[in-house]
Amino acid sequence: MAKRSAKFQVSSRLAHLLSQEYSSSERALKELVDNAWDADADSVHISLPEPMSDSPIEIVDDGTGMTEEEVRRHYLNIAADRRIARGERTAGKARRVKGRKGVGKFAGLMAASEMRLETWARGVKSSFDLRLVDLAGVEDIEKLPIDIASESCPGDKHGTRIVLGGLHAGFALPDPKKFRQVLLQEYGRESGIVIHVDGKPLGVDDVEGSYQDTSLQVEGVGDVRLRFSIAENKSVSRAPGIVLKVGGKAIGKPSFFGLDERDDFPQKLLKKLYGEIDADGLHDHVTAGWDSIIENSELLTKLVETVQPMLTSAFESRYRRDIQLAQARLKRTVHERLAELPEYRREYAQRAIERVLDRFYGDAPEKIEPYIYVLLEAIENADYGTVLRHIAEAERSDVVAVAEALADFGLADMAHLVEQAKARQAFLDKLEALARDPKTLEAQMHKAIEKNLWLLGAQYSLFSSNRTLARQSEDYLDKKFTGQRAKDRPDLLLNENLDGAALLIEFKRPSHPLNHDDYQQATGYRHDLHKVMNKPIEVLLIGGKRSPDFPQKDLEPNVRVLSYLDVIATARRLIEWQLKTGQN
């Protein structure tokens, strides 16, 4: 059997097909901006033609540019993944490379029949022209002759210019407003590049929606300028929120100035918020790395207290009527159940339902209705309605309030809500959220755990509060930790089990790695208390993970060391076993 060699041929139609990959001319042009990003450009200028004109589209960047050899080897290499040859990051600014398919060079041909590329690098200007009519004249794109012209240029000149001419008559011209929306999604939060469309830099005011630009005075902060938009349609950026700027530099990630912590605020609307705030008066409150404002800054608190009502008012004026209409439709479905409630509960139920509807504004009714029905069940049943109300009213930012809610949740009789194991699963979910929050303090974990000792295992569930013991230790501690030593007072919980043994628990914040000093401190407290107590004292030290210097051997007897996440994981396994055996 005879064999003859063969090879693939790349049809000249490939360039035209690749240009049609993009859903709109705006998205095709965005691909050319991506190329400028990958070239480490600081600025990009895009000029779009006026309607009814024959002006070309022009994209100019000040990136690294290309030599003639780079044009031949890389730019004209179709479908080559530049990450394989040159890595995931750009050489100059270490940006994550956006161009991945190697076909973005044809993006401009979606809107135009002619493309001219000019690029400057290392004292040489290289240029060539590409026309769809030329592509149509050859069967194999590899046989298309491309003449690259080279000439000398100033050594410090660098960048690339792409001119798209002969715009297709059958396509609508790129719309500047729509193009800015496309660019905002990708580049709205990039501080290392400035993109100009028809001479105007991309900014907050380009968002389609309601825009506000306000100058105000904040006590202690001074002059503040707030610029923000609430998008008309979907999310305008991959990083919505308000960027805080000090001295023109963005500090940390965008935030929602407390709106995301309000239970009555529709979380879906947060994606529509986009803006920035200049507050140079916070200069002395910026961390050394200029990546955030120092923790517990009173000036930042004042700024949040001033700005949040302004944001709330803007959302109210734009979306309140829509929210009210959605609420009215859902309220009709529960009207009969509300009418059966006593008047004092009915008023509370209506407010609670409004908060749920506010928070889930924009979601389908079939998704919201189950929340409403569970809420009504809780309100109709007085035994656990109070507990749920306590949890519902706790602000997410108020860790203490959440901890108190957890304490009540663990003590309440869950028989009316769900079986005990499932109720404890819900408790563990909230406790784990506290344990993973770097802001959580030992006092909050103390509050959540002290009345829910089942977390620590069956042996600790038998410890009960002993007022005499507590008063005895309190009197001693009041005498020992006075004056300057008061700040070192132990944060402990003392209980007594049926055998008369006392339990001393020392809590550390979840983000704190337990070290040798923590061990010495906990056992030292036991030594002090032994002076006034003639009974065995067990020590339980709970915090984050163990640090390398935590003692590994020769530990004192009756000392246990646990991490919060280990405690939660063990409790979860026990509950899962209970649920499994209970269902069998």
* 128 pLDDT above the threshold of 50: yes
Which of 328, 346, 380 is the C-terminal boundary of a domain? 380
Whether the CB-CB separation of 380 and 336 falls below 8 Å is answered with no
Q: Which phi and psi (to 5°) does residue 451 adopt?
A: -105, 15
Q: Are residues 57 and 163 in the same domain?
A: yes
Strands 492-496 and 502-507: antiparallel
Q: Read off the pTM.
A: 0.55
Helix (H, G, I), strand (E, B) or coil at 79: coil
Q: Give the torsion sign (CA, 282, 285, 290, 293).
A: negative
pLDDT single digits (tens) 335-344: 777 777 777 6
Which of 348, 380, 412 is the C-terminal boundary of a domain? 380
449 vs 116, residue with greater confidence: 116
Structure tokens at 286: 């910026």
Structure confidence at residue 62 (pLDDT): 96
Q: Are residues 416 and 468 in the same domain?
A: yes
Q: What is the 3-state secondary structure (H, E, C) of 90-139?
A: CCCCCCECCCCCCCHHHHHHHCEEEEEEEEEECCEEEEEEEEHHHHHCCC
In-domain check, residue 4: no
* 332 pLDDT above the threshold of 80: no
| 383 pLDDT tier (thresholds 50, 70, 90) | very low
Cα separations (Å) of 306 from 140, 218, 283, 353, 418?
65, 7, 18, 28, 42
pLDDT single digits (tens) 4-16: 444 334 444 554 5
Structure tokens at 376: 């009504």
Whether the CB-CB separation of 110 and 25 falls below 8 Å is answered with yes
131 Cβ contact list (under 8 Å, min separation 6): 113, 114, 115, 166
How many CB atoms are closer than 10 A to CB 139?
13
Q: Are residues 43 and 102 in the same domain?
A: yes
In-domain check, residue 449: yes
Q: Where are the alpha helices (DSSP H) in 334-398?
A: 335-340, 343-359, 365-380, 382-393
In-domain check, residue 391: no
Structure confidence at residue 525 (pLDDT): 81
List the single range of 28-32, 44-48, 359-363 with lowest mean pLDDT: 359-363
Structure confidence at residue 5 (pLDDT): 44
383 vs 62, residue with greater confidence: 62
Q: Are residues 103 and 165 in the same domain?
A: yes
pLDDT single digits (tens) 315-324: 888 877 776 6
Q: Are residues 362 and 411 in the same domain?
A: no
In-domain check, residue 288: yes
pLDDT single digits (tens) 55-72: 899 999 999 999 999 888
Which of 315, 348, 380 is the C-terminal boundary of a domain? 380
Q: Identify residue 538 by its one-letter amino acid code.
A: E
Q: Are residues 556 and 473 in the same domain?
A: yes
For the domain that residue 347 is a member of, what is the CATH number? Answer: 3.30.230
In-domain check, residue 202: no
User: What value does the mean pLDDT take over residues 497-503?
Assistant: 65
* 365 pLDDT above the threshold of 80: no
Nearest CA-CA partner of 42 in 161, 179, 159, 193: 193
User: What value does the mean pLDDT take over residues 72-99?
Assistant: 76
380 vs 212, residue with greater confidence: 212
For the domain that residue 93 is a member of, what is the CATH number? Answer: 3.30.565.10
Range 94-126 burial, b when 16+ CB lie within 10 A, else e:
ebebbbeebbbbbbbbbbbbbbbbbbbbeebbb
Beta bridge partners of residue 127, listed in sequence order: 118, 149
Cα separations (Å) of 125 from 47, 122, 146, 383?
22, 8, 16, 81
In-domain check, residue 575: yes
Average per-residue pLDDT for the chain: 77
* 408 pLDDT above the threshold of 70: no
Whether the CB-CB separation of 59 and 68 falls below 8 Å is answered with no
Alpha-carbon gap, residue 140 to 156, rounded angstroms: 38
Count of the separate structural domains present in the chain:
3
List the single range of 141-155, 212-226, 529-543 with lowest mean pLDDT: 529-543
Structure confidence at residue 413 (pLDDT): 40
Chain Cα centroid distance, residue 403: 23
Q: What is the 3-state secondary structure (H, E, C) of 517-546?
A: HHHHHHHHHHHHHHCCCCCCEEEEEEECCE
User: What value does the mean pLDDT take over residues 38-47?
Assistant: 94
Cα separations (Å) of 170 from 107, 111, 166, 308?
17, 9, 12, 48
Q: Are residues 375 and 237 in the same domain?
A: yes
Q: What range defines the domain where residue 485 resides?
A: 397-584
In-domain check, residue 389: no
DSSP state of 88: S
Our CA angle for 368, 371, 375, nearest 5°, is 140
In-domain check, residue 103: yes
* 31 pLDDT above the threshold of 50: yes
